Every structure is written in C-alpha cells, then in structure tokens.
Amino acid sequence: MSKVIPVTSPLLPPLEEFIPYLEQMWESRRLTNGGPFHEQLELALADYLGVDHLCLFANGTLALVTALQALRITGEVITTPYSFVATAHSLLWNDLTPVFVDIDPVTCNLDPSSIEKAITPKTSAILPVHCYGTPCDVERIQGIADNYGLKVIYDAAHTFGVRHNGSSVLRHGDLSILSFHATKVFNTFEGGAIVCPDAKTKKRIDYLKNFGFADEVTVVAPGINGKMSEINAAFGLLQLRHIDRALSMRQRIDQRYRAAIGRIAGLELFEQRSGHEPNYSYFPILVTERYGLSRDQVYELMRQHDILARRYFYPLISEFPMYRGLPSADLGKLPVAKRISSQILCLPIYPDLPDEIVDTVCRLLDQGAAK
Ligand SMILES: *Cc1c(COP(=O)(O)O)cnc(C)c1O
C-alpha cells in the first residue's frame, strides 16, 4: 500500500524543540488567558508580518465573527461565493445578510465593478477574501468603501506573510483576519488572529474575545470565548523559527510545478504578478475544455494514484442550502465563479512534499492531456 498524499501537510519542527516550552508551562502553570507565550506570539507575529497590532484567537472563524462585531456591522455585507464556507458563516452568526457578487477570473477575488452594483442602503461592509494569498484590488475596494461609507474586513486566511510592493497585504482595510489552522502555511494546530491598525481597536477586540470583560467586574459586551491557549501560542513561536525555511521549500515546489505544467495544453496556471511576494500556500490550476479530461476526471485519476488533489472551491458557498435561497446566490449572476469552481483543482504543496510526487502529478497531468 502506498501512502496517500494530502493536498497539504504541516511542517512539524523536531519534537525536542517543543519540550522547553512545555517545561516552562508546567513551571509557570499559566495555560491560557493571555499568558507569556500568548503575549510573545502577538508581538513576534506583528513584527514578522510587518503590522501594527494583532489579536490572537482560538481559530480564524471566531476571529471573523468577532471582527464583524468589533466594527458593529449591520444589515448586508458584500462578499465572495468563492471561498471556504466560514467566510459567509461568520455573517450568519452575526445575523447579517451575505450579498454574493462575482469574482475576477485572473485573481479569483471579488470583482470591484460588481461590488459597486450590489450596494444598497442596507450595505454596511465588504468582506473580500485574498484567495490563495493573491491580493485583492485593495485600492479600488477602498475607493468604493470610502465613497459609500462602508467598512472593509479582509478574510486573509490564505495571506500569511504575503507582501505587495514591499508592504504587508494585511495592512489594508479596517481589519484583516488570519487562520492558523493546521492546513495553513503557518499553523498553531488551531488558531487565528485579527490584524488591526490601532491600539484602541485592539483593546475592544481583546474584550470581545474574552466574554466582554474589561476588568474583573466590568463586562462591556456579550463577548465570546475566542482566546488562544498557551500551548497553541508556544507552538506558534516554535513554528515562527522555521517559517522562512518552510516558505522557501514551498517556493521550490511551486517552481517545479510551473516548469512542467506550463507546457501542457488545456491546463491554465495563475501567473504571479509583479511586485508580489507570495507565500505559495496553494497550487491551483484550471482544467479547461481544451484539456483531454474534465476536472473531475483529473481529480479521480489523482485519487487512483493516492494523490488527494482538492477542488478548492467547489461547490460555491452560495450553492449550500443555507445560502442558495438568497437573491444574490442566483448562479446566472455569478458566471465567473461558477466556471472557475467547475475547473479548479489545487495540487499538493507543502514543505516536505518529495520531488518524486511532484513529478508523478505532472506526469499524470501530461498523460491526461493526450486523452
Ligand atoms: C481556513 C479558512 C477560514 C477558517 O479558519 P479556521 O481557522 O479554520 O477557523 C476562513 N476563511 C478562509 C478563506 C479559510 O481558508
């Protein structure tokens, strides 16, 4: 039996490097509630990412839910159907109405010209996703938000460490949300964060993630328990020591795929744009009509060879039962998202992925072209 190759797999530093953190925890008996590792990780991440303030969370979904509360978002929120389902779920958890608009075929991100058409008097915010870590058209989105008085919250779950024109992509919008789930480029087993521009907003978010406690006897809001524990924070500090190596290992794999797949007729790659420093978190390809097999046939072919390529994102969020009744979920209004969702396939990419597997994937794709 050969081993199944997942689409992603975490970089695990040597176990013995984690032991000193555990010893410190046993010594201090601080397990959660903003302990020393939590404090260190917030500062270390803000520094590494090049942002001003950062609030750690137990996961990215709670960070999204809390970000919407922190900015007191109401009514309708314009968002993308082409994302992980947690993006829209965070709206339902806040009693907000998602308004789906179509995406741009080059970036897979919200198409700014569609955003403007979807604005109504009830719209209070835009919730875009930097899909696969590719930055949204942040300038145009901010321009629209300024014109109409809307907040912008970026779901930046894919965007750890991504820079554009020398500056962090996380510095755009009112808030940005990160996920440190085990499947992401930087992980704390489970975890997440809100990136925010000022200390006052950070303070409010810190209350909201801790039941609304402002001090021992004062509760200022019906806050959630969104705190990251000390064990997750300690693992994050350890990961951070290895992140640059992990990113360069991913870059090597990205280049190996590009060199081989770029030549195959009917398959399309997403080009890297100038001024962009990516994190190589995903390797998406489009299986177009010109290819010998359908996307689902390629997916099955990979599975037969124990390679678990993934259809991120298929189905669209707007196709799930809790969303499909919304007027904006009409597939006729989302033609680009629908097409990309039917052609997309994300290939395995992670630091320890052996070159032979990359070559096997490329060989299978090459054979499929001839069918
Ligand atoms: C992973 C992910 C989330 C959810 O993050 P969790 O940490 O798993 O809760 C939200 N949005 C997007 C786009 C994601 O990829």
pLDDT, tens only, 136-181: 999 999 999 999 999 999 999 999 999 999 999 999 999 999 999 9
pTM of the entire structure?
0.97
What's the CA-to-centroid distance between 157 and ligand 1, angstroms? Answer: 5
Residue whose CB lies within 8 A of the most ligand 1 atoms, among 155, 179, 232, 282, for a mutation test: 179
Separation CA 34–CA 206 (nearest Å): 10
What's the CA-to-centroid distance between 338 and ligand 1, angstroms? Answer: 21
Fold of 243-368: Aspartate Aminotransferase, domain 1 (3.90.1150)
Q: What is the residue type of 318? A: S
Please name the residues in contact with 13: beta carbons below 8 A apart, sequence gap of 6 or more: 238, 239, 241, 242
Rounded to the nearest 5°, which phi and psi values hold at 152? -125, 120
Mean pLDDT for all residues in the chain: 97
Residues of the chain with CATH 3.40.640.10: 15-101+109-238
What pLDDT, on a 0 to 100 scale, did the predictor assign at position 2?
63
What's the CA-to-centroid distance between 84 and ligand 1, angstroms? Answer: 6
CATH numeric code, 15-101+109-238: 3.40.640.10
Residues of the chain with CATH 3.90.1150.10: 243-368
Residue nearest to atom 5 of ligand 1 (CA): 60
What's the CA-to-centroid distance between 12 and ligand 1, angstroms? Answer: 20
- Ligand 1 neighbours (beta carbon < 6 A): 59-61, 83-84, 86-87, 129, 155, 157-158, 179, 181, 192
What pLDDT, on a 0 to 100 scale, did the predictor assign at position 5?
95
Separation CA 241–CA 203 (nearest Å): 28
Instruction: Tell me which residue has tokens 């190596």.
Output: 245
What pLDDT, on a 0 to 100 scale, did the predictor assign at position 371?
64
Separation CA 55–CA 9 (nearest Å): 25
Separation CA 223–CA 246 (nearest Å): 36
